[in-house]
Amino acid sequence: MDERFSHTVSQAYRSLHGELLRFLRRKLGGSADAADLAQDAFAQWLKSSSRHEVEQPRAFLFQVARNLLRDHWRRQNQSAECMVDEHEQDDQADLPPAAEGSEPVAQFERQRYLRQLSQALQSLPPRRREAFILHKFEGLSQAEVARRMGISLSMVEKHVASALLHCKRHVQGEGER
């Protein structure tokens, strides 16, 4: 690796990592994923083929971070859609009966359901939301979530159960009282 390049990255890391991390935490609502995304931004720079062409490291890193955020949110939305698919049969009873040719109506109802689910997730307390997302969307076992968050397994179980109940109530309209 070019020594001048590694010095530039090292210097940028020391001077910009904190600012980049604060930016990502703000965008993610304090999520623990912010630290991973900040590291990924620097890792992508190290892997990039444009090593010598980066004249403005701060601008470059923040653009990489914005791209990583978009990918992160896209993955979360896909995970939410998977969760919807898993529970769709149970929730079909809550939807109005579909008339022939009502695909746009079904699409609208699905989007409404996803918005409600997203609002329910956003209204959870940060630690509960983090435990729930790590377990349900990131696919970690409850024991792995407990280790990662530094809390007991029973606390993770309580967070996940409470978050599921909260989301169910919110989507069914009971959370708006």
173 torsion bin: left (phi>0), alpha (psi -120 to 50), beta (else)? left
Residue 93 has pLDDT above 50, yes or no: no
Residue 108 pLDDT: 77
pLDDT tens-digit readout, 12-56 = 889 999 899 998 888 887 767 788 888 888 888 888 755 556 788
Q: How far is Cα 174 from Cα 177, in angstroms, rounded to an integer? A: 6
Q: For residue 162, name the pLDDT band (cuts at 50, 70, 90).
A: very high
Residue 177 pLDDT: 41
What letter represents residue 138's amino acid?
E
What residues does each domain of the chain span?
1-74, 95-177
Check: CB of residue 135 under 8 Å from CB of residue 145.
yes
Residue 94 has pLDDT above 80, yes or no: no
Residue 1 pLDDT: 52
Residue 176 pLDDT: 46
Check: CB of residue 71 under 8 Å from CB of residue 64.
no
Q: What's 138's DSSP letter?
A: S
Residue 151 pLDDT: 93
Residue 62 has pLDDT above 50, yes or no: yes
Check: CB of residue 99 under 8 Å from CB of residue 83.
no
Listed in sequence order, the DSSP H helices in the chain are: 3-28, 33-47, 57-91, 103-122, 126-132, 142-149, 153-171
Which CATH architecture is the domain 95-177 placed in?
Orthogonal Bundle (1.10)
- Mean pLDDT, residues 121-126: 90
139 torsion bin: left (phi>0), alpha (psi -120 to 50), beta (else)? left
Residue 35 pLDDT: 87
- Mean pLDDT, residues 79-85: 60
Q: Determine the longest span between alpha carbons in the chain, in angstroms.
A: 66
Check: CB of residue 156 under 8 Å from CB of residue 149.
yes
